Structure 1
Amino acid sequence: MSQLSQLRSPAAVQAAIDEFVQLGRTKFLARYGYGKSRDFLVRDPKTGTDCDSKAITGVAFGKQFPEQGPLTADSFSGGEATVVPTLTRLGFRIIRIGEDWSEEEVLATVEDYFDMLRAEAAGEPYNKSEHNQTLRQQLNGRSKSSVELKHQNISAVLDALGLPYINGYKPRGNSQLLLRKSVQAFVLERQKLVGSIVDALEEVKLPGEKTYLAALVEAPKREVFVPSATKVRDRMPRKFDFAARDEANRRLGRAGEQWVIEFEQRRLTAAGHPELFQRLDWVSDTQGDGAGFDILSFEDETQHRFIEVKTTNAGVGSSFLVSHNELEFSREVGEQFHLYRVFQFRDGPRLFMLPGDLSQHVHLKPTDYRASFRAVVG
């Protein structure tokens, strides 16, 4: 029998909640060695205070079995399959973090988010902390961290729609259904505003600072999250497909390729092969698209480096399009292939590289199909 199945006393749970309310969240969690709940809270029926569900469960066990003491945070798993049914069975109300926001709160948060996104796209300075503080005055006692989480949820919705999102708010999934619907409604109802944001992020403005090698950063890691069961299918008109619009903007792409060529000159020089730069070939310029890469460079005197450049004014995690030809070529030439992702181009380019088979670095989602009436079999 699992330890959680032995917890059968609502009074023990209430005693743990009472202590949580008395001490406050920070002191309670520190006393028992628990972190903040990421997904679920349990609501105090007396005061309406939302408490960290896993911590309450572990401490409640100690209240029911004082001779054994509270469970440690690493002795059981929290979440929908364990803590939630245990506390629900004992008559307590479970709140998924963020799900209790009202429509008015959600709409105000979406408006605030797009105000910041518009400023970021236009290159105008703004202060996230000040926005957070001002927004909370319109909300129902929300904490700074809960507002930040909501902003991250909005980023996740926009990313799923192929739209740009605020750099400082990394996408976080499992968002409230009401939030997803509100973001989609905002995009459809404010098409002119959203279009201006996308256009601003496609603007070709050559960077003033040319640091090149100092601009190199680590590539993001692939992440997987499980969407909520109530997730609606995200579909937007193609005019809002930011990745497609960005990719189609050849002026921005060409400017990024020019920057990469200068980067390569410095990379080859730093590697002790400055003479190889004279043999570099800007293939997409001399031969056009379709080769599966944009620039033919070198590792050394005998080995090529095939470079495909993807440029954006948006942030490090923004999506981009990969053609079937580029994917197949990355698999064909292996480690000689390098995708150079140039981001934040307008503000001072940053770069990460993805070597080899692209399918090993990113999640690939088919977006188009070639339709025909004849097929080759075998």
Structure 2
Amino acid sequence: MRRNWSISEVEATVEDYFDMLRRELTKEDLDKAAHWRALMKRLDNRSRGAIQRKYQNISAILIQMGIPFIDGYKPLSNYQRSMPDVVCEYLRKNPALQDLFRADSDGAPEIPSVDDWLSAMEKPPSLEETGQSVGSKEPAINNPAGVNYLEREARNQALGAAGEEFIINYERARLIQAGREPLADRIEHVSETRGPSAGYDILSYDTDGRDRFIEAKTTKYGKDTPFYITRNELEFSEKNSSQYYLYRLFGFRAKPRMFALHGHLQGQCSLEPSLFIARIS
């Protein structure tokens, strides 16, 4: 039978999590195993698995707040009721963290060097794997500072441009490997040549010569970081579903990885409205 965690145990776990997150964002040495072992001594006979699930709970809460989370601790919902309050209280008492989050979301690393461009692609997560369903929505939890840093990072134009260049390099490698170098030479950086109204960022090609419309979404954070799409992008994915690909590039800080969603995004993602148009009449 599972025992409820005391407030002091939750507070100790939240404190330890934020220490790891700070180290990760400032590129300090981080030994996650050493952290959970040290934390275990402060808790009431908790197992490694129980501690790691609590870390994952904190990741889920931070994503809902729009705050970066530790890469490797996959968000896990169904946390105990007191956890969001403890996280919020820690953030209130440590306002310097907000400066760190702001600087990190506004920064843009250079395009990381990669030995094998094609190895960056992996299988996309399913809605079942993420524990989401189409139209599902977690209760809102707000960052005490009132800032959504994940949304702020998504608007980081320098980061977006660097991610698009990475994906262009990937596409060139894919076509060259298939023996279609002339097609690789025709790849167009549409977001620069035509602007955002096009509905996609990169014009590439399938190996049979058909157009491949690619929307690029880049984050320095983990695979489970939500991304933002516009109405124009969503409608374009529907109208051009057979040729549309969204490339989600993540972990761009050091070890970039990505997955591709092919076709209309409705049904492949859990979509939540984040902006409404209001009219008086």
TM-score with structure 2 setting the length: 0.90
Verify: 1:116 aligned to 2:23, yes or no: no
Q: How far is the alpha carbon of 1:371 from its aligned partner?
A: 2.0
The alpha-carbon distance between structure 1 residues 286 and 189, as it changes in their structure 2 partners (threshold 3 A), is farther
Verify: 1:330 aligned to 2:237, yes or no: yes
Three-state SS of the structure 1 residue aligned to 2:78 is coil
Which amino acid in structure 1 is aligned with residue 124 of structure 2? Answer: A
Spell out, residue by residue over 1:255-275, the C-alpha distance to the aligned partner (whole angstroms, 9 max, x if none).
111111111111111122110
Verify: 1:235 aligned to 2:142, yes or no: yes
Q: How far is the alpha carbon of 1:144 from its aligned partner?
A: 1.6
2:187 is aligned, of 272, 275, 280, to 280
Provide the residue aligned with 2:82 in structure 1: 178
How far, CA to CA, are the matches of 1:198 and 1:313 in structure 2?
A: 13
Spell out, residue by residue over 1:275-331, the C-alpha distance to the aligned partner (whole angstroms, 9 max, x if none).
012222111111221221001111145411000001111011111111111111111
Which amino acid in structure 2 is aligned with residue 279 of structure 1? Answer: R
Uncovered stretches (5+) of structure 2, i.e. residues with no partner: none
Provide the residue aligned with 2:264 in structure 1: 357
1:299 is aligned, of 179, 192, 206, to 206
Verify: 1:136 aligned to 2:43, yes or no: no
Spell out, residue by residue over 1:6-63, the C-alpha distance to the aligned partner (whole angstroms, 9 max, x if none).
xxxxxxxxxxxxxxxxxxxxxxxxxxxxxxxxxxx2xxxxxxxxxxxxxxxxxxxxxx
How far, CA to CA, are the matches of 2:132 and 2:114 in structure 1?
A: 37
How far, CA to CA, are the matches of 1:306 and 1:339 in structure 2?
A: 8
How far, CA to CA, are the matches of 1:257 and 1:224 in structure 2?
A: 29
Three-state SS of the structure 1 residue aligned to 2:216 is strand
Verify: 1:251 aligned to 2:158, yes or no: yes
Provide the residue aligned with 2:125 in structure 1: 220
Spell out, residue by residue over 1:183-239, the C-alpha distance to the aligned partner (whole angstroms, 9 max, x if none).
12223443331341353255322213342101111111113369xxxx964233685
Larger radius of gyration: 1
Q: Over aligned residues, Cα RMSD in angstroms?
A: 2.1
How far, CA to CA, are the matches of 2:261 and 2:139 in structure 1?
A: 32
- Conservation of the 8 A alpha-carbon contact between 1:217 and 1:350: yes
Three-state SS of the structure 2 residue aligned to 1:154 is helix
Three-state SS of the structure 2 residue aligned to 1:360 is coil
Three-state SS of the structure 1 residue aligned to 2:28 is coil
How far, CA to CA, are the matches of 2:150 and 2:239 in structure 1?
A: 25
Q: How far is the alpha carbon of 1:126 from its aligned partner?
A: 1.1
Report matched runs for 1:193-208 at 5 Å.
Answer: 193-200=97-104, 202-206=106-110, 207-208=112-113
Spell out, residue by residue over 1:84-112, the C-alpha distance to the aligned partner (whole angstroms, 9 max, x if none).
xxxxxxxxxxxxx46x2122111111010
Report matched runs for 1:1-378 at 5 Å.
Answer: 41=1, 97=2, 100-200=4-104, 202-206=106-110, 207-222=112-127, 223-224=130-131, 233-236=140-143, 240-300=147-207, 302-373=209-280
Uncovered stretches (5+) of structure 1, i.e. residues with no partner: 1-40, 42-96
- Greater CA drift, 112-121 or 181-190: 181-190
The alpha-carbon distance between structure 1 residues 225 and 254, as it changes in their structure 2 partners (threshold 3 A), is closer
How far, CA to CA, are the matches of 1:321 and 1:355 in structure 2?
A: 17
The alpha-carbon distance between structure 1 residues 336 and 313, as it changes in their structure 2 partners (threshold 3 A), is same
Which amino acid in structure 2 is aligned with residue 154 of structure 1? Answer: I
TM-score with structure 1 setting the length: 0.68
- Conservation of the 8 A alpha-carbon contact between 1:173 and 1:225: no
How far, CA to CA, are the matches of 1:111 and 1:117 in structure 2?
A: 10
The alpha-carbon distance between structure 1 residues 301 and 174, as it changes in their structure 2 partners (threshold 3 A), is closer
Three-state SS of the structure 2 residue aligned to 1:358 is coil
How far, CA to CA, are the matches of 1:298 and 1:276 in structure 2?
A: 7
